[in-house]
Amino acid sequence: MIKKNIERKVLNNGIVVITTENKTADIVSAKIFLRIGSRYEPREQAGISHLLAAVLTKGTGKLSSLDIAHKVESVGARLGTDTTTDYFLLSIKTVSADFTDIFQLSGEIIKYPSFPETEIELEKRITIQSIRSQLEQPFTVAFSQLREMMYQNHPYALSTLGTEKTVSQITRADLQEFHQTHFRPDNIIISIVGNITNAKAINLVEQILGDWQQPETPPITLNLPSLTPQPSKTTTYQETQQSIIMLGYLAANVNSSDYAPLKLINTYLGNGLSSRLFVELREKRGLAYDVSAFYPTRIDISNFTVYIGTATENTAFAKAGLREEVERLVNNQLSSEDLQVCKNKLLGQYALGKQTNSQIAQILGWYEILGLGMEFDAKFQENLTMVTTAEAQKVASKYFIEPYVSIVGPEED
């Protein structure tokens, strides 16, 4: 359970500040979330959030990239940016004595990035190289084509990196416009955790960012396409040493009552060396080099995916084995013992993910940016404990009907 001394305040300009004091170590961690990410990108500008994250710290109106690096590194602090499907994130971590200076630097970076042309071109080349590199990785290719089949025209269909075509066309003016559109105070959540009082943390945010005015226009409202399952199969031939097989199902978003049961099913199938897929397909049948499942947390409709890497001559057997294990959950209830093991495992991992200031700041801001609220921490754990074997089977029957199939491997197999 996260500490109880959490304070949440909405500033006059719309910034949401969430703070909790933790004196265990003389460290302060802050996470600055913004409601952007690949979900908010026009199709023709796929990857612009990632590119913006890469160049945001490369200069401001007053500071060069080297100036910023020196200010951070000279005090041993950490400052970094990242982007995901559903949000953008700037993270800082310092000793308490340096937190004010580094947070002030972060405010300048967010409000006044200069987007140097040379840095943009460099980061575009690096991104395009990463995209090309992914085309040589069978697992990434398999998931990319699975994602494109499942999500079609929805932004989730593409990697957060974008495509080589879209990234190469993004200009400095595009980045400036995207920044001006989305970087606004009423689009920001800031979570601060560590050796700083709640009052001081809130006052610091007000002092540094409180005069940032909301634009007169409202934030962008997304109108994303609806998704209807249309299962299909895609195969890409590559000269690889193994075949990658993925089965994917459109699944519930984080706000659904089916979220907790699906998290438990994911734990049962693919979480660790004791998971069903690992034991049955690797240990007992020797079909897998690697086998698992994943079910990412998403604002919009998510995906439940199982995958296996297998010797090319075993492709058909491995695919049948994967599907058999998924459909077994539709046709048979989990035992009470297996379900309880999954609950214990997931609750234990959930607790271990909230130990450090950085982890707590991350999860508090993450709850807020996903629209879940701080009460989700207790609610999710309660929901997990209440899932029954009958409910798990009902949820499996609801989603595991017909899979999307993605295969990458040598043509002869």
- Residue 213: other Cβ atoms inside 10 A: 12
Which residues, listed in sequence order, are joined to residue 30 by a DSSP beta bridge? 92, 192
In the sheet where 404-409 sits, what is the strand order? 233-237, 404-409, 242-251, 302-311, 290-294
Element (H, E) at 268: helix 259-270
Q: What is the 3-state secondary structure (H, E, C) of 152-206?
A: CCCHHHCCCCCCHHHHHHCCHHHHHHHHHHHCCHHHEEEEEEECCCHHHHHHHHH
Between CA 249 and CA 295 the distance in angstroms is: 10
Low-confidence ranges of the chain (pLDDT < 50): none
Nearest to 188 by CA among 196, 179, 197: 179
The pLDDT score that the predictor gives to residue 392 is 98
Is 156 in contact with 144 (CB distance < 8 Å)? Answer: no
Q: CA–CA separation, 413 vs 402, rounded Å?
A: 23
pLDDT at 3: 59
Q: Which pLDDT score, from 0 to 100, does residue 220 have?
A: 87
pLDDT at 411: 82
Q: How many helices (H) and strands (E) does the chain have?
A: 15, 11
Closest CA to 148 of 400, 409, 398, 406: 406
| pLDDT value at residue 92 | 98
**How would you label 262-276 residue by residue, b for 16+ Cβ within 10 Å and e otherwise?**
bbbbbbbbbbeeebb
Q: How far apart are the first and last CA of the chain?
A: 50
Confirm if 246 and 142 have CB atoms less than 8 A apart: yes
